[in-house]
Amino acid sequence: MSYNIIGIAEKEPNWKELHSDVFNPVGAIEMFPIDQGDGKFYLGLSIPSKNIETHPNLWQQLEEVINQLRNKHGFQVFDLYGGFYVDQNNLAELKKQLIG
């Protein structure tokens, strides 16, 4: 089981810059690009349940990734477990669902 989030952008980001900003090879969050062929740009975020237990700074990592995607790279971020677009007002709800 994993906790899944998806990022959506209308305008193509600079992927190399984005990759440099958000991807951590030893981090808790797995990432993958999605080619949907609808003119939009997607990035999948998946957090395996074992990583939720073993990465004490998981929330800090995720919050940083979400902020980078939303504020720097023009993404909307959607919490697939909660069923809502993430913004500053509901970050706490996402945190509660993810780590309690």
Partner 1 sequence: MCHSLLVLFLYIREDIFDVSIELGASKKLGTRMGLFSKKKKKNSPFELDWGKITPDGYNSNENKALYVFNHHFLNEESRRLSRIFAGGRVNWYSNHLPGNCKNELLLDIRGQDEVTFELQFQEEWGKGIKEKNTKLLEQDNLIVEFLI
Query: Where along the sequence are the contacts to partner 1 (CB under 8 A)?
Result: 1-2, 4, 6, 8, 12, 14-16, 18-19, 23, 25, 30-37, 42-44, 46, 48, 50, 78, 80-84
Min dist CB 52 to partner 1, Å, is 12
State phi, psi for 67 to the nearest 5 degrees: -65, -40
Min dist CB 38 to partner 1, Å, is 9
CA dihedral 63, 64, 70, 76 (to 10 degrees): -40
Question: Please, which residue, 60 or 81, has the CB nearer to partner 1?
Answer: 81
Question: Please, which residue, 32 or 89, has the CB nearer to partner 1?
Answer: 32
Burial of 91 (0-12, 13-18, 19+ CB in 10 A): middle
Min dist CB 64 to partner 1, Å, is 16
Question: Please, which residue, 40 or 63, has the CB nearer to partner 1?
Answer: 40
Within 8 A by CB and 6+ apart from 45, the residues are 4, 5, 6, 7, 29, 30, 31, 62, 65
